[in-house]
């Protein structure tokens, strides 16, 4: 495989968005996070074929947006995901779930759709 074709195959990313504390008022968010620790951030975990900055901008513009990110999204938290990116689609799909589980187990409040 040439470096160019490898780069094309590895253009997916996982990303983490910090959410406002106001998201805690959402019953579905609270229900998904029974072990949330108050000292930890509330976050959304996603995956995309776009650059995470562009994907966040699209969420905030209401384009293919998750409602929690649209209403409560504050900023990206690259320190939680940069180490994994970029990657192939299948790896990103799996990593989205694994990252969400890991953050929830660490006490974060997590939404992952």
State mean pLDDT over 32-58. Answer: 97
Per the structure, the count of domains in the chain is 1
**How many whole angstroms separate alpha carbon 54 and alpha carbon 57?**
5
| pLDDT band (50, 70, 90) for residue 55 | very high
The domain in which residue 78 lies consists of: 3-111
Task: Work out the average pLDDT over 77-94.
Answer: 97
DSSP 12: B
Q: What pTM was estimated for this model as a whole?
A: 0.92
Residue 22 CB-half CA count within 13 A: 8
Confidence of residue 5 (pLDDT cuts 50, 70, 90): very low
pLDDT band at 4 (very low <50, low <70, confident <90, very high): very low
Look up tokens 């609270």; give the residue: 30
Q: Can you give the pLDDT at residue 8?
A: 57
Rounded to an integer, the average pLDDT of 80-103 is 97
């Amino acid at each position: 495989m040439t470096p160019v074709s490898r780069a094309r195959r590895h253009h997916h990313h996982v990303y983490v968005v910090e959410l406002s504390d106001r998201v805690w008022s959402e019953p579905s968010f609270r229900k998904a996070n029974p072990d949330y620790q108050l000292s930890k951030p509330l976050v959304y975990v996603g995956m995309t074929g776009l650059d995470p900055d562009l994907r966040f901008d699209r969420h905030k513009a209401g384009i293919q947006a998750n409602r929690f990110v649209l209403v409560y999204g504050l900023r990206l938290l690259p320190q939680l995901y940069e180490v994994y990116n970029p990657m192939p689609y299948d790896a990103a799909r799996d990593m989205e779930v694994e990252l969400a589980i890991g953050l929830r187990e660490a006490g974060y409040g997590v939404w992952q759709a």
